[in-house]
Chain A
Amino acid sequence: MAGLCSVFSVCLCLLGFSAAVFEDQVGKFDWRQQFVGKVQFALFDTHSQASKKLLVATEKNIFASLNSRTGDLFWRHVDKTGPDGHINTLMMHGQDAVVVVGNGRLLRSWETTVGGLNWETVLDTGSFQSAAYIGVQDVVRYVAVLKKSAISLHYLSSGHQKWVENLPESDTVQYQTVYSGGNGQVFVLGVVPNSHIVIVEYNIEDGEIMKQKSVAAPWLSSLQSSCVMVGSGVLLCADPTTKSLYTFPLQSADQTTMTPILLEPVLISTQPHPARPPLSEFFLQLGPDYHILLQLKDGLVSTLRDFNPSYLVAFATTGEKTVAAVMSPKNETVSILFILSNSDPFHLHTYSASVINLYSADTGRRLLDTTIIYSMDPNGGKPAKLYIHTFLKKDDSVGYRVLVQTEDLVLTFLQQPGRVVWSREEALADVVTMEMVDLPLTGTQAELEGEFGKKADGLLPMVLKRLSSQFILLQAWMSHLWKLFYDARKPRSHVKNEVTFETLSRDEFNLQKMMVMVTASGKLFGIDSKSGTVLWKQYLENIQPNSVFKLMVQRTTAHFPHPPQCTLLVKDKVGLGSLYVFNPIFGKKSHISVPALPRPILQSLLLPLMDQDYSKVLLLIDDQYKVTAFPSTKNVLQQLQEMASSIFFYLVDSSQGRLSGFRLRKDLSTELIWEVVIPTEVQKIVGVKGKRANEHVHSQGRVMGDRSVLYKYLNPNLLAVVTESTDSHQERSFVGIFLIDGVTGRIVHEAVQRKARRPVHFVHSENWVVYVYWNTKSRRNEFSVLELFEGMELYNSTVFSSLDRPRPPQVLQQSYIFPSPISTLEATLTEKGITSRHLLVGLPSGAIVSLPKMFLDPRRPEVASDQSREENLIPYSPEMPIRTEWFINYNQTVSRVRGIYTAPSGLESTCLVVAYGLDIYQTRVYPSKQFDVLKDDYDYVLISSVLLGLFFATMISKRLAEVKLLNRAWR
């Protein structure tokens, strides 16, 4: 009976949390963008003329098909992260694409129209070297896969293995290339570095070694980087040290060498059809911007055309024609024409453009009318890769489209004469950190605000000014009403609000914000949170991979005449670190002088102090524990001197397991005041989190069943430090959690979760810490929650000082089983902190669950009592449910969620959520439902008609009553 009661009460509690979206709300305030990442291989479907498919395989282990007309995704396959899912090669033949995945672990064939898997074969172990189609008499039948010590041949139709052979002397020879000229043989080329090349010829039918020979090549270290196959079975190798080219016909027994003198050679050749030998023409790259087209004929190399300067070259084939595309910097005349012809004033800033031209591969002649002008984004990077899609026009001439990938990972698809068909910002597949910044007020609102800032200049002008601004407001309101009325007549799908800088302004509930996103490639984006439109982008060059980014909002939009200001601290593992200051709304670099950073920066600290121009003070701590202030005006330095004794910071060195706390001195040096060492032999620090600076807690305590108050321990200086054991044995591994006061270094609480292992995710907010770990004993994911309370009375209700805390807090803890693994964890955040909190849990399946914090409450009783029922505590049950209506992103899965960002909006009930990973998903959540807004389906017509009806009814009945009274008076 009690069980039934508790189940019933749980159900009652759950009734309040159905936060799912209705069908007509889909896409109303949320959006998703899908990305693929940095492209490694791109192939156009040349099977049929009308095909719109573009196949890409990327460094994010994604194999996808894009619509080459619009740039949208047809389908996308997300493989495992890490080397297991790495795509080694992508080849296409007809409708099918063959992919080798996971360092030669799997061979897959995909059907490219719908993205279905044709077949999959598990290959023998061994590190993958190369793969090639093998054709016999103009028909492609087989795929050859070359491993470090074996070669295998598979049927293209079924994936079955035809034969597998071990390679001779594979321990000394590095086999790197497989080649087939289409005449029934398979050549495997290997190299003994700095000694000789080994060429093994296999019979295609049974894998028997036909021939085996070795060619002396003491200058050669790697085949893949310096050799190509040219013509019918000629191996062409370049020697960078002596700047020479070598050729060797595979079929012949004698060995030849040819030595024209050349510079920094890189070779590019093409094999238009796998069943036929490659072309005898090839590109030789002599410098970074210098290519020549060469032809090898009868053992002689002749220059067809010289391209200087040229950024990128590529071959493409359609039908029987093979063309070479060359991207070169535009010459002046073209650029002027281009600028004149382009009416869009925004593109006038495009000062660097390049020209892509087609050349006939056989002769080197330029094909007429094949110029594409590629205008480079001044805020972008240089072009890095060029993919050409050629097709035969009706008049048998060659038409083409170009896919350009730049250094900042923009994929641009162009067609003649330079029209951008689409472009994709693939840098957004790797967002590192982000912030949401309020949009500025509109001009009129700002005008009104500005009135208060100015000094009074007489009563009458003030009144006049006020009247005029009110009039402007009225005007704006009327036009807004008119727009509303105008839009209401159109169906909703047709109303498309184009977001531009002109229309960018804060809405009445501050629900629309600017998302400033920092990506790993060093590109910054400003995205409108309502529509997902990229409003500005800025590419920071020379960002090392694995750099650390820290984005801080120094000045918000609230200080009107001063523009908002964001500061990005970039630091790579060895460098000094640099600051990039910009306006987050327009993306423009700020002209404020940035302090010189002569020493490596260890950490930064954004103080709540403000300069005269309302920018918050940023402290940068260098490796000698000296502090640099930015901005460092006299006012700031004076404030810092006054405040110095109350400014503390902590540093965590996870390699040495040391946490240290420092106090600022008046001369901006620091003194070490505490140090906690966690021995690295036993455990290492995984993460440390403080509280978010913009978090507000409305209620200082919790009301008990007997109506007394249990006060929360709200220490703003508390740090949650999570460690894990170095011993990963499942019996001995553990996860530790330390709650440390960042000012005094006092360990407030310490807990060890035995038989637990990473991945550990944790959230630290208000007076609680929630962490998730893998329980090795029971083999499941578990949530654990720690909650800290001061007790039944507050020690000091007016000020909080970590230095004066005589009593330790009471700590409560409870754990729960969670039925799914977890990718990331974050808590919702609202303006005033009145709304109840939810945890946003990103699952590997791509779903985001909004889990009420109520379920993670260590005060949940095992047996429900009257008092606990009074408190609305759900009786404890170890299993945490996942209800389908808690999925805030319904079917819009977010692949590989890396992080969730939450920001408060102007409405207390609403929290803005951005989940980023491979995809970006933005939505709003209402943890306590929308208590401060009318529902979407609120019946305005009914209510207003009832009101009007009642009003008229009162009027009429009043009149009637008067008449009746008068009549009665007459009697």
Chain B
Amino acid sequence: MSSPGGQGGALSTRGAAGPRRMKWALELSLGNTRGRGDRQSKDGDVMYPVGYSDKPVPDTSVQETDRNLVEKRCWDIALGPLKQIPMNLFIMYMSGNTISIFPIMMVCMMAWRPIQALMSISATFKLLESSSQQWLQGFVYLIGNLLGSALAVYKCQSMGLLPTHSSDWLAFIEPPQRLEIMGGGMML
């Protein structure tokens, strides 16, 4: 029986509950309701007026310094994938070309992140909407991600995971059909 009013107070009839002298009582404060000890809030017993908020309201008016900050922030987003490339190169170099669980996980991560980014590129564009250089930033972002995925492909290639050799297709070659029927042997 949670009260839908929240801070609006709780009304409870206690007529049948206990041997009190009052026939009824209206309790306007929170917290003293029976059995709800954990609902007792620290700010407690004071009733706030309607419309009161105890959080300060931020000042939303746009200022000139903020616009520069937005621009900077947007460039950060756009250059993010490119900044990761040196790190990725280092990881690639460190993990080596052997096929084992760790390098595979690295490659998967490296390949998956740009793809994910490219798939949610419209969301990123929305983020960049406020910037004046939106298209340039978007382009840089795209290039960075493409470079990242190219790097992953290159890594796959150097690990031998790409079916680029003829041996990768060997299992699909059907045995050729024979045109002549031949048999015989030693004269009996």
A interface residue numbers (CB < 8 A to B): 548, 550, 569, 571, 577, 601-603, 605-608, 621, 643, 646-654, 687-688, 690, 696-701, 703-704, 707-709, 714, 716-717, 742-743, 794, 796-803, 971
When the two chains form their complex, are residues B182 and A717 in contact, meaning their CB atoms are under 8 A apart?
Answer: yes
When the two chains form their complex, are residues B184 and A742 in contact, meaning their CB atoms are under 8 A apart?
Answer: yes
Q: A798 and B176 in contact (CB under 8 A), knowing A707-B160, A708-B166?
A: yes
Could you say which residues of chain A place their CB within 8 Å of the CB of B187? Answer: 602-603, 651-654
Could you say which residues of chain B place their CB within 8 Å of the CB of A652? Answer: 184-187
When the two chains form their complex, are residues B170 and A649 in contact, meaning their CB atoms are under 8 A apart?
Answer: no
When the two chains form their complex, are residues A707 and B177 in contact, meaning their CB atoms are under 8 A apart?
Answer: no
Nearest-Cβ distance from residue B69 to partner chain A, whole angstroms: 42
Q: A717 to B188, alpha carbons, bound, how many Å?
A: 20
Q: A646 to B177, alpha carbons, bound, how many Å?
A: 13
When the two chains form their complex, are residues B167 and A709 in contact, meaning their CB atoms are under 8 A apart?
Answer: yes
Interface string of B69-112 (1 = CB under 8 A from A): 00000000000000000000000000000000000000000000
Q: Nearest chain-B residue to A664 (Cβ)?
A: B181
When the two chains form their complex, are residues A801 and B184 in contact, meaning their CB atoms are under 8 A apart?
Answer: no
Q: What are 25 A-B contacts defined by CB distance under 8 Å?
A: A548-B188, A603-B183, A603-B184, A607-B181, A646-B180, A647-B180, A647-B182, A649-B184, A688-B185, A688-B186, A690-B183, A697-B175, A698-B171, A704-B167, A707-B165, A707-B167, A708-B165, A716-B178, A717-B178, A743-B180, A796-B176, A799-B176, A801-B180, A802-B180, A803-B180
Instruction: Select A799's contact among B179, B186, B188, beta carbons within 8 Å.
Output: B179
Interface string of B148-164 (1 = CB under 8 A from A): 00000000000010000
Nearest-Cβ distance from residue B180 to partner chain A, whole angstroms: 5
Q: A654 and B183 in contact (CB under 8 A), knowing A703-B167, A704-B167, A714-B175?
A: no
Q: A701 to B180, alpha carbons, bound, how many Å?
A: 22
B43 contacts partner chain A, Cβ-Cβ < 8 Å: no
When the two chains form their complex, are residues B166 and A717 in contact, meaning their CB atoms are under 8 A apart?
Answer: no
Q: A553 to B23, alpha carbons, bound, how many Å?
A: 107
Could you say which residues of chain A place their CB within 8 Å of the CB of B177? Answer: 798-800
Q: A550 and B180 in contact (CB under 8 A), knowing A699-B170, A707-B167, A708-B167?
A: no
Interface size on B, residues (CB 8 A): 24
Nearest-Cβ distance from residue B157 to partner chain A, whole angstroms: 12
Instruction: Select A800's contact among B168, B178, B184, B185, beta carbons within 8 Å.
Output: B178
B173 contacts partner chain A, Cβ-Cβ < 8 Å: yes
Instruction: Select A709's contact among B38, B160, B166, beta carbons within 8 Å.
Output: B166
Instruction: Select B180's contact among A654, A696, A703, A717, beta carbons within 8 Å.
Output: A717
B interface residue numbers (CB < 8 A to A): 38, 160, 165-168, 170-171, 173-188
Nearest-Cβ distance from residue A800 to partner chain B, whole angstroms: 4
Instruction: Select B170's contact among A569, A577, A701, beta carbons within 8 Å.
Output: A701
When the two chains form their complex, are residues A550 and B176 in contact, meaning their CB atoms are under 8 A apart?
Answer: no
Instruction: Select B182's contact among A688, A700, A742, beta carbons within 8 Å.
Output: A742
Nearest-Cβ distance from residue A762 to partner chain B, whole angstroms: 14
When the two chains form their complex, are residues B179 and A800 in contact, meaning their CB atoms are under 8 A apart?
Answer: yes
Nearest-Cβ distance from residue A638 to partner chain B, whole angstroms: 16
Q: Nearest chain-A residue to B176 (Cβ)?
A: A800
When the two chains form their complex, are residues A606 and B183 in contact, meaning their CB atoms are under 8 A apart?
Answer: yes
When the two chains form their complex, are residues A649 and B183 in contact, meaning their CB atoms are under 8 A apart?
Answer: yes
Could you say which residues of chain A place their CB within 8 Å of the CB of B170? Answer: 699-701, 703, 709
Nearest-Cβ distance from residue A767 to partner chain B, whole angstroms: 12
When the two chains form their complex, are residues A601 and B188 in contact, meaning their CB atoms are under 8 A apart?
Answer: yes
When the two chains form their complex, are residues B179 and A646 in contact, meaning their CB atoms are under 8 A apart?
Answer: yes
When the two chains form their complex, are residues A608 and B179 in contact, meaning their CB atoms are under 8 A apart?
Answer: no
Could you say which residues of chain A place their CB within 8 Å of the CB of B175? Answer: 696-697, 700, 714
Q: A269 to B163, alpha carbons, bound, how many Å?
A: 87
Could you say which residues of chain B place their CB within 8 Å of the CB of A651? Answer: 184-187
Could you say which residues of chain A place their CB within 8 Å of the CB of B179? Answer: 646, 799-801, 803
List of 9 A-B pairs having minimum Cβ-Cβ separation, nearest first: A605-B183, A649-B184, A650-B184, A707-B165, A703-B167, A801-B179, A800-B176, A717-B182, A648-B182
Q: A743-B180, A800-B177 are in contact. List 5 more A-B contacts (CB 8 A).
A: A550-B188, A569-B188, A603-B187, A647-B180, A650-B185
Could you say which residues of chain A place their CB within 8 Å of the CB of B182? Answer: 647-650, 690, 716-717, 742-743, 802
Could you say which residues of chain A place their CB within 8 Å of the CB of B168? Answer: 707
Nearest-Cβ distance from residue B38 to partner chain A, whole angstroms: 7
Q: Nearest chain-B residue to A550 (Cβ)?
A: B188
When the two chains form their complex, are residues B180 and A603 in contact, meaning their CB atoms are under 8 A apart?
Answer: no
Could you say which residues of chain B place their CB within 8 Å of the CB of A550? Answer: 188
Q: Nearest chain-B residue to A743 (Cβ)?
A: B180
Q: A971 to B173, alpha carbons, bound, how many Å?
A: 67
Q: A800 to B181, alpha carbons, bound, how many Å?
A: 11
Q: A602 to B185, alpha carbons, bound, how many Å?
A: 9
When the two chains form their complex, are residues B181 and A647 in contact, meaning their CB atoms are under 8 A apart?
Answer: yes
Instruction: Select B188's contact among A577, A703, A708, beta carbons within 8 Å.
Output: A577
Q: A577 to B187, alpha carbons, bound, how many Å?
A: 12
Could you say which residues of chain B place their CB within 8 Å of the CB of A606? Answer: 183
Q: A99 to B101, alpha carbons, bound, how many Å?
A: 72
Could you say which residues of chain A place their CB within 8 Å of the CB of B188? Answer: 548, 550, 569, 571, 577, 601-603
Could you say which residues of chain A place their CB within 8 Å of the CB of B173? Answer: 700-701, 794, 797
Q: A569 to B176, alpha carbons, bound, how many Å?
A: 32
Q: A971 to B183, alpha carbons, bound, how many Å?
A: 88
Q: Nearest chain-B residue to A659 (Cβ)?
A: B184
Nearest-Cβ distance from residue A719 to partner chain B, whole angstroms: 9
